[in-house]
């Protein structure tokens, strides 16, 4: 019988950034891109009960000037937020909202999205001394370097352990 692993040997790796790590104007080029395929779009559209035929009927989409079905814009938004999490909010802290979301151009199955975020503002939280509030402006581009979506996202971000309250 094999020896059981000693789980104390597995060290917890802290990920993400603390409030103090963010400076206004700082740019994050998110290193993971994501190709959205037809299956992603189909299952997301079905699971969210999105009944717009542009997202699941190729003939309808072509009749309205598109080369193929259009990827559900909410899938695009969720994908881009997901691409940015590792750099911006993986350390935790409550999500406070998204503002000024602009779907600039359609995304089609097979498009690969990449994203970049810029720190718009940082401030201390008035009600939670161990947190700050950070807002980022994110834009995503397709493989042709065309902007497809932009938005601002705000999170509470934990301060470093031992930081003054």
Here the CATH number for the domain that contains residue 36 is 3.10.129.10
50 within some domain = yes
The pTM of this model reads: 0.87
Which residues, including other chains, have CB under 8 Å from residue 98's CB and lie 6 or more apart?
A: 77, 81, 151, 152, 153, 154
| 165 residues of the chain, pLDDT tens digit each | 567 766 677 666 667 899 999 999 999 999 889 999 999 999 999 999 999 999 999 999 999 999 999 999 999 999 999 999 999 998 888 999 999 999 999 999 999 999 999 999 999 999 988 999 999 999 999 999 999 999 999 999 999 875 555
163 within some domain = no
75 within some domain = yes
149 within some domain = yes
111 within some domain = yes
Domain that includes residue 108, residue range: 18-158
Nearest-angstrom CA–CA distance, 91 and 156: 10
61 within some domain = yes
Strands (E), the chain: 27-29, 34-35, 95-103, 112-124, 131-141, 147-158
5 within some domain = no
48 within some domain = yes
What is the total count of domains within the chain? 1
* Residue 127: burial class (beta carbons within 10 Å; 0-12, 13-18, 19+): exposed
Nearest-angstrom CA–CA distance, 69 and 60: 8
Report the pLDDT value the prediction gives residue 7, as an integer from 0 to 100. Answer: 63
């Amino acid at each position: 019988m094999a020896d059981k692993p000693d789980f104390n040997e597995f060290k917890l790796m802290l990920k993400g950034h603390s409030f103090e790590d963010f400076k206004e104007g700082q740019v994050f080029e998110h290193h993971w891109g994501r190709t959205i395929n037809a299956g992603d779009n189909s299952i997301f559209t079905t699971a969210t009960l999105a009944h717009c035929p542009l997202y699941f009927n190729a003939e309808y989409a072509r009749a309205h000037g598109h080369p193929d079905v259009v990827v559900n814009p909410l899938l695009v938004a969720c994908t881009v937020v997901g691409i940015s999490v590792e750099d911006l909010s993986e350390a935790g802290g409550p999500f406070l909202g998204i503002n000024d979301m602009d779907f600039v151009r359609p995304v089609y199955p097979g498009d690969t999205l990449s994203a970049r975020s810029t720190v718009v503002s940082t401030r201390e939280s008035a009600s939670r001394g161990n947190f700050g509030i950070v807002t980022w402006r994110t834009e995503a581009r397709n493989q042709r370097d065309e902007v497809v979506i932009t938005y601002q996202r705000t999170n509470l971000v934990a301060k470093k352990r031992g930081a003054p309250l």
